[in-house]
Amino acid sequence: MIQKGMQVKVLYDFDGDPDNGELSVRAGEELTVTAQDIGDGWWEARNSLGHQGLIPEAYVQLAEPPEPSFPPPPPPPAGPSAPPAHHYTSESSDDVNGFHDNQYNGGQGYDNHGQTLPQQSSQEGWDDDDWDDFDDQSSTSTAGHNNHDLQGQGNFGLSVAKREKISPTGVPGGENLSRYGTVRVSRFSNFAKAGGEAFLMGQATPPVHISEGDKVKIIETRDGPIWAATESYTCEIKSPKKESKLKGLKSFIAYQVIPSFSNIQVSRRYKHFDWLHERLKEKFICIPVPPLPDKAIAGRYEDDFINERMKQLQYWMDRMVRHPVISHCDTFNHFLTCTDEKKWKVGKRKAEKDEFVGFKFFYTLDTPRQPLDVRDVENKMETFQKFVKGMDDNVKNLISVFHDNRKRHTGPFKKEFSRIGGAFKEAATTFNMDIGSYSRDLTAAIDYTGDTYNQIGEMYAKQPEKDIDPMHDMLYEYKGILGVFPDVLKVHEGALSKARECVKLQEDGKMQENEVTNVIQQSDIISYGTMAEVQNFQRQRVADFKHTMHVYLSGQIEFYKEITKVRKRLTCGQV
């Protein structure tokens, strides 16, 4: 058997799909195997250039044995591409990928690197003092989980589904899978590697018992599935304070977090927020958890930076407490309420061993019993993918426009009015040299005009904080959310792709009807969860834009009213 680190030789050309983590190879090329425990007849390998990715197992052989005198057998009867769709559209969601760009730093926005799949490592005994020393240092590991049915040890720190021995034709071995006959090698995606196929195919053992507290209810409305309403509350972040430990060797900023349901404040550092963010991303695979404010190395203890970061953390917290699912999960509640250090560590370890993370979160969904119309689901999701792409472009454009507008308010606009005001003031100074009574009123009026223009310049400079800045902040929030939404959509696309493949296998007589029915039912659960989140996003978007547009337009109206008042005072008998 080929082991990790062994050399293999490529038998056939393979054009991989980079979006699915695949590696393109050519016949005769030698590769180094880095992982075999992938699933569905796929291995992970690295080429001589150091590029790493997934390859079909059946397309390579051991490089050590001498070349046989006869040519290699023909390629497997089915290539690694997915089978054609049956009652499904074939469009992919690739048009929503590639949104993960960095935003401005210094706490002015969000680090939109997108959701990354975490490394898996054992953190038993990892207490609070073992965290990274600096609040702004990225966490590089997350806790291991007891998802042995869904996940195993994979490369890149990813967890993958357990798999049976795979034959060169891509047929899963073992008695319980022999009924599939000769199965085409399905095109691999991170969906499979993260345990999605195990969930859909029933290869994962569902939890024996799911408590009522763990269940998440989805209800059907005329607009589509939505998360069931939960009790709302607020949470305030305030009173940042520089603290230290180890006799002052390590310094950090602690924020006071006060949820409205208890009014008990808890002290949290940035690293605690970072920990919470990682836990939420890992648990809620169908919810786009927005990124935190940027990390920083320099200037972390300056007042302006601290206040700006606190404001951005407040925006992030406001969005989390408004989410009907996140706001009531145990991990989030532990973050908001735990004041005892020992209990914090116990709850922290419990959260890191949460059974319902990733695809196992779908086991907790209590969905409507009505089967979904696959064509309708695909059409809606295709439209939403286009919406996300369009809104992402719109938000970036608006950010650019308001950024330039703010610069003009604090720069050219103020400067131009100040120049005019200064010129009038200089003229008044000269005219004041004439002490005649006939000149006194005119000189005073010109001097007043100069003051008025200077005042208008200052009004322009101060106005952005009243209307442009709230708009700017809201747009950056949505830039962060839209940057991670493609990962959520990829999960759903993976479920539909696998369901399409199973329908095709049934048509070819390679899969039983009851098995395909079970796959469709599991796929419906993922669809219900994804569409409920889409509805939540759209409703929140409407509320956010209504509020922010009201603030912006009200601010603009009041601003020009004040400008008008100043100019009226200037023209009413002053000159």
Specify the pairing of strand 142-143 against strand 120-121: parallel
Q: How much of the chain is helix, strand and coil, in % rounded to 5?
A: 50, 15, 35
Question: Can you give the C-alpha Rg of the chain in angstroms?
Answer: 30
Amino acid letter for position 518: N
Helices (H), 223-302: 270-283
**Closest alpha carbon to 58 in 95, 12, 102:** 12
Q: Is 309 annotated as a binding residue?
A: yes
Q: Is 247 annotated as a binding residue?
A: no
Burial 243-258 (b: 16+ CB within 10 A, else e): eeeeeeeeebbbbebb
CA 1 to CA 511: how far, in whole Å?
Answer: 29
Evaluate whether 529 touches 537 at the Cβ level (below 8 Å): no
Evaluate whether 41 touches 185 at the Cβ level (below 8 Å): yes
Q: What's the chain's length in residues?
A: 575
In the β-sheet with 250-259, what is the strand arrangement from edge to edge?
235-245, 250-259, 266-269
Evaluate whether 14 touches 24 at the Cβ level (below 8 Å): yes
CA 188 to CA 327: how far, in whole Å?
Answer: 34
User: Long-range contacts for 230-234 (Cβ within 8 Å, ≥24 apart)?
Assistant: 230/324, 230/325, 230/327, 230/328, 231/328, 232/321, 232/322, 232/327, 233/259, 233/260, 233/261, 233/321, 233/327, 234/259, 234/260, 234/318, 234/321
**Closest alpha carbon to 494 in 534, 516, 523:** 523
CA 199 to CA 180: how far, in whole Å?
Answer: 18
Helices (H), 58-97: none
Q: Is 269 annotated as a binding residue?
A: yes
**Structure tokens of 335?**
């973050």
Q: Assign 293 to helix, strand or coil.
A: strand
CA 341 to CA 268: how far, in whole Å?
Answer: 12
Q: Assign 483 to helix, strand or coil.
A: helix
**Closest alpha carbon to 323 in 114, 107, 115, 532:** 532
Strand partners, 35: 44
CA 397 to CA 404: how far, in whole Å?
Answer: 11
Evaluate whether 46 touches 32 at the Cβ level (below 8 Å): yes
**Closest alpha carbon to 327 in 268, 285, 367, 287:** 287
**Closest alpha carbon to 461 in 469, 450, 473:** 469
CA 252 to CA 273: how far, in whole Å?
Answer: 13
Evaluate whether 199 touches 358 at the Cβ level (below 8 Å): no
CA 190 to CA 39: how far, in whole Å?
Answer: 11
- Binding-site members are 269, 271, 309
